[in-house]
Amino acid sequence: MPRTLLCLARHGETNWNIERRFQGQFDIALNARGRAQAAALAKELAGAHFDRVYSSDLRRALATATPIAGARGLDVAKTPALREKDDGVWQGHTHAEVQATHADIYPNYLTRRPDFAAPQGESLEHFAARVRKALTQIARESAGETVLVVAHAGVLDIAWRLAAGKKLDEKREHPVLNATPNWIAYDAGKWSLVDWATPQGRAEIAAPWDGRALPRREAARALIVDQDDDVLLMRYAGGLTPHFLALGHHHFWATPGGAVMEGEDFESALRREVYEETGLTVLDPGPVVATREFPMEIGDDWHQAVERYYLIRTERFAVEPRDLTEEEKIHVLGWRWWSADEIAVSHDLIFPEGLEALLRKISK
């Protein structure tokens, strides 16, 4: 069988990478730096020949692969077997949160114990077998060709171990860089390392917020969930970023809530915002089921968003906005109850990221 050359690239950066949040198989989009990294990767590989392009079917990988494939008139082979390791109930939580809530088993993750799996997740052994099978199949069906594979840090880690002959629990020498080419080969049933990227000598891709002291924007948001576990989302037309406008989006869906005003705490802001936007009077804000902290683009400016999401269970009701200003009325266009399944298949802009998976976690 002729030698197959594989170029492997991790997707660009996401906000969840910044937050050190377990993404796993949650479908999280690239952030502004990630989009710039994807463009830089396409430019770096402009002179490279590829016969085929494969990608994980998650959007952060597809968004990184598509420009490269499109420049060559190639289709992207969406490959679920190239998804990141399934980290079960840890997905959506930061490393700090998992370390606090699973202190007894988290060290198994840090030491790369091969047979360890997060609760309801995938073990490193099982993950490695999945990736090895997928890459071997790609190499065999692309015999003698040069192939681009865009996937995730965990997938590239396993590929490096295959090519370098390293065990699953051995320490890796270098981090897996975002949107950076790495080369391995498959010949006569064996993998070999051709060239693996290191941070030395590579230019950092700038983000719009780099070097800036971003103003802190605290916000309280409500996951208002009915008896069917459907969530109430508001349709907004204000605050769309230039990036989304350029993609043809003119509105987005998001959970009710908003910025904490001077003199308020999170809970009082939640009560006020929910009443203004939906007409619902919140007596008990409910538990905080998610927290976020990341750079957020609002119009043409950037803020450091600090968000808390409160779970409010209620009967389904019709929204009756109260006390909105005229400007707010222009921006708030409508509302709808969404199921997790509807969110999962929708092509609308829906915030927060990972909402569909969060709903499944908190369902009765």
Cite the active site residues: 11, 84
**No. of H helices and E strands in the chain?**
12, 14
DSSP character for 94?
B
Q: Is 74 exposed, middle or buried (0-12, 13-18, 19+ CB in 10 A)?
A: middle
Annotated binding residue 286: no
Does the annotation list 13 as a binding residue? yes
DSSP track, 217-248: EEEEEEEEE-TTS-EEEEEE-SS--HHHHHTT
Rounded Cα distance, 71 and 60, in Å: 18
Residue 35 assigned ligand-binding role: no
Cα 63 to chain centroid distance, Å, stands at: 12
Tokens of 273: 């915002």
Q: Which residues pair with 130 in a beta bridge?
A: none
Q: What is the rounded CA–CA span in Å between residue 148 and residue 153?
A: 15
Report d(CA 36, CA 353) in Å as an integer: 20
Paired sense of beta strands 182-187 and 4-10, if any: antiparallel
Which of 303, 13, 30, 320 lies closest to 153 in space, CA to CA?
A: 13
**130 appears as a binding residue in the annotation:** no
For residues 45, 49, 52 and 57, what is the CA-based torsion angle, rounded to 10 degrees? Answer: 0
Residues 6+ apart with CB under 8 A from 26: 16, 91, 92, 353, 354, 357
Cross-strand bridge partners of residue 193: 184
Is 14 annotated to bind ligand?
A: yes
182: annotated binding-site residue?
no
**C-alpha distances in Å from residue 214, one per residue of 34, 226, 302:** 19, 36, 7
Q: Is 15 one of the annotated binding-site residues?
A: yes
The annotation places the binding site for substrate at 10-17, 60
The annotation places the binding site at 10-17, 60
